[in-house]
Structure 1
Amino acid sequence: MDTSNDLSRRTVMAASLSLVAVAAPSLVQPAAAAKAAPSQHAGSGIVTVKDGVEIFYKDWGPREAQPIVFHHGWPLSSDDWDAQLLFFLDKGYRVIAHDRRGHGRSSQTDTGNEMDTYAADVAALAAHLNLKGAIHVGHSTGGGEVARYVARHGGGGRVAKAVLIGAVPPIMLKTPANPGGLPLDVFDGFRAGVAANRAQFFRDIPAGPFYGFNRPGAKVSEGVIDNWWRQGMMGSAKAHYDCVKAFSETDFTEDLKAIDVPVLLMHGDDDQVVPIADSALLGIKLLKKGELKVYKGFPHGMATTHADVINPDLLAFFKA
């Protein structure tokens, strides 16, 4: 038995352990310090509004840059703005997008699923983030949310400009005052689809009219369809059901008249979900500082299918 070699090995091991013990505090201290001092810019967060509902939001980019706030359509989430968030982040803007109550990662509330509360939730988010001179961009239902928010909460320098893309204002429902609107049974069909088989309904919409994939020669993206389904199924069936009334029956006429910042209306003339004749073509007549851009053959979800066209046009409006 070679005791000298065994002793040598034990001596080396003991010395090594001593070195680790001495070095350990300096190795663990930076991690502990980082944990104790959280980042001032986490990239996402939650704001709790007055009725206790938690609103999830993303907040990317430099704090000092002009903020752009994106408002998604029904029944989606802030993820629907991926192509815009990355584009404008690269252009140096601060980009913010939230999940409307009942949608995405926000609380699956059974109350407050109407436009006044949606707008109040945005006001709470804007106050939480201390937004000034923001540009608000809304698609479809989100366009209605933008109109109501800017009209009621956008004063005092909070809002610089607004954009409504394929948006529901002035009002979608056919009424005596809006004879060109869609009949109530169209929206009853939406509610029936949500209640009966939401999972299938949320496949049929993106696979068909939303992105124009039902048109002859359309280039269909299964990934886009799957992503729409994924976002929709994250939300609350109750909130989605209630939101149909919010996006179809809310009258935004007075909101559009009240807005005094520049507003860009962007609409595809092949929008099968929010027909242009009863939305943008009427809304432009109500705005004090409105501009209308019509896109030939573009579908409702054109911010996704034609982001290469929509994003540069948005940028030009922002810089004008």
Structure 2
Amino acid sequence: MDTITTQDGTSIYFKDWGPKDAQPIVFHHGWPLSADDWDTQMLFFLQHGYRVIAHDRRGHGRSTQTDTGNEMDTYAADVIALADALDLKNAVHIGHSTGGGEVARYVARSKPGRVAKAVLIGAVPPIMVKSESNPGGLPIEVFDGFRAALAANRAQFYIDVPAGPFYGFNRPGAKVSDGVIRNWWRQGMMGGTKAHYDCIKAFSETDFTEDLKAITVPTLVMHGTDDQIVPYQDAGVLSAKLLKNSTLKLYEGFPHGMCTTHADIINPDLLAFIRS
């Protein structure tokens, strides 16, 4: 397996496919998944001549099941370590959901020359939890419910999420894929319970406002209007306003997991942005 070891001894697994002299595209997965969630995109961009990289966030997939460091500052530091180890230059960083938060924090702190563009897809920034300063957010009770369900029966919870709101399979007329549900469950169950529990706080309560303001590279913000996990109006729309150089693209009726359910539309749009 390809891995790097971070300063605190955590092993971070990654895939690195394609010509090493080609422009790198780095994919950042959502909670509680792994690099495997990007397989469709990685094959697509590999076939278009890019170098494609995806890592398992600490506590997820094949990386160490950490009990500490399961928060955004450390996630971003792990990406910095990965980018240094692979000497990535002029890279495009694409993040979905929690991975979008990781991209925002990493790109805001990245070394000069490392990042060319960024993409946030159904991403959690600016901040998910409801507060006086974020009245459109989701109540903390929603995330307390996630934690309770995970602690009580993680295996069942990791079936209920993809079978229901994540891919919009709970909508009338939805074309449900049992394979997609099983793959989500498989990825989730590979990771560590403690890390996944901690990550709920990381993706829901981290404020990315200053990160977004600090990003200067061209950034594409993509969001489905039927996203039942990260409501688009309080996420994608607000993020695009905070970014200095953003393009907002909304997808009518698309779900949170639209990179999987609508890869035939999302992938060409990503390619067009990267080539622009």
TM-score (norm 1): 0.86
How many Å apart are 1:58 and its aligned residue? Answer: 0.1
Name the structure 2 match of 1:233: 189
Question: What whole-Å deviation, never above 9, does each CA across 1:251-276 have from its counterpart, x for those lacking one?
Answer: 00000000000000000000000000
Q: Aligned residue for 2:160? A: 204
Q: What amino acid does structure 2 have at the position aligned with 1:178?
A: N
| CA–CA separation in structure 1 for the residues paired with 2:216 and 2:249 | 19
Deviation at 1:176, TM superposition (A): 1.0
Query: How far apart in 2 are the matches of 1:68 and 1:184?
Result: 34
Three-state SS of the structure 2 residue aligned to 1:122 is helix
Q: How does 1:32-111 map to 2 (within 5 A)?
A: 45-111=2-68
Which residue of structure 1 aligns with residue 93 of structure 2? 136
Residues 258-297 of structure 1: CA deviation (Å, up to 9, x unaligned): 0000000000000000000110111111000000000000
Q: Secondary structure at the match of 1:116?
A: helix
**Alpha-carbon offset, residue 106 of structure 1:** 0.0
Q: Distance in 2 between matches of 1:58 and 1:167?
A: 22
Residues of 2 paired with 1:232 and 1:192: CA distance?
A: 16
Deviation at residue 155 of structure 1 after TM alignment: 3.1
Q: Secondary structure, in 3 states, of the residue corresponding to 1:220? A: coil
Paired with 1:91 and 1:160, the residues of 2 have a C-alpha distance of: 18
Write out per-residue CA displacement over residues 131-177 of structure 1, whole angstroms, 9 at most, x where no aligned residue.
0000000000000000000001x231100000000000000000111
Match of 2:250 in 1: 294
- CA shift digits 1:85-126 (9 cap, x unpaired): 000000000000000000000000100000000000000000
Query: Which runs of 5 or more residues in structure 2 are unaligned?
Result: none
What is the CA deviation profile of residues 15-58 of structure 1, one whole-angstrom value per residue up to 9, with x for unaligned ones? Answer: xxxxxxxxxxxxxxxxxxxxxxxxxxxxx500000000000000
Alignment of 1:93-242 (within 5 A): 93-152=50-109, 154-242=110-198
Q: How many angstroms does 1:62 deviate by? A: 0.2
Q: Which has the higher contact order (CA 8 A, sep 6+)?
A: 2
- Aligned-pair RMSD on alpha carbons? 0.5
Task: For 1:166 and 1:180, locate their aligned partners in 2 and report how far apart those are by CA, in whole Å.
Answer: 16
Deviation per residue, 1:41-87 (Å, 9 max, x gap): xxx50000000000000000000000000000000000000110000
Give unpaired runs (5+ residues) of structure 1: 1-43
1:190-249 CA distances to partner (integer Å, 9 max, x unpaired)? 101110000000000000000000000000000000000000000000000000000000
Runs of 4+ in 1 over 2 A off after TM superposition: none
Match of 2:207 in 1: 251
Q: Give distance in 2, aligned partners of 1:270 and 1:179.
A: 20
Letter in 2 for 1:264: L
SS in 1 for 2:211: helix
Matched, 1:269 2:208: no
SS in 2 for 1:284: helix
CA distance in 2, matches of 1:216, 1:299: 13
Q: TM-score, normalised by structure 2?
A: 0.99
Letter of the 2:64 counterpart: S
Q: Secondary structure at the match of 2:2?
A: strand
User: Identity across aligned pairs (percent)?
Assistant: 76
Question: Where do residues 280-319 of structure 1 align in structure 2 (5 Å cutoff)?
Answer: 280-319=236-275
